Amino acid sequence: MGLIGEALLAEVDACKGLPRAEVVRRCGYVNVGESGQERLNNTAFFEALLQAKGFAIGDGRGPGDRRRARRLGRSGRSLPFHTKVQFNGNLMVGRAYLDLLDAKPGDHFVIRLGRDSIRLMPLEPESGTTQL
């Protein structure tokens, strides 16, 4: 595991003047293959460096990003933004849509009816007001 945060920034500053590959290696972003060959993980290094400097990368959800992206339909298919009323009168909202809203069990939503749409607006837990 490579350095992150302030430790990463300090090490990068200490390595000024060294080749980029050596900086990546000293910060710990190296993978050793089965054959013993060393591979530098430049992408992870630069992502960690940007995060340490305060720039957000992606949606910031962490290690499960790839699994989550697959669940959200980014692996070749897209989510259809339509649904139908079930036999019992319920309107189904799939898990992938709730994941997009970062909804958890117990979250509350306001249902807003438009001329040709229904919108779910999350409520803030403490105040009971909608987030925009």
How does pLDDT run across 87-124, given as a tens digit for each residue?
898 888 888 888 878 888 888 888 888 887 788 888 87
Token look-up 């000293």 returns 26
Average pLDDT over residues 34-57: 87
pLDDT at 23 over 90: yes
Please report, for the domain that includes residue 71, its CATH number.
2.10.260
Residues 48 and 9 occupy one common structural domain:
yes
DSSP H helices in the chain: 5-14, 20-26, 42-52, 65-71, 95-100
Tens of pLDDT, residues 47-93: 889 888 888 766 555 554 544 554 554 455 676 777 788 889 888 88
In a domain, 59, yes or no: no
Nearest-angstrom CA–CA distance, 108 and 122: 6
C-alpha closest to that of 62 among 54, 49, 74, 51: 51
Q: What is the pLDDT of residue 132?
A: 47
Mean pLDDT of the chain: 78
Number of domains in the chain: 2
Inform me whether the pLDDT recorded for 39 exceeds 80.
yes
State the residue range of the domain holding 118: 65-122
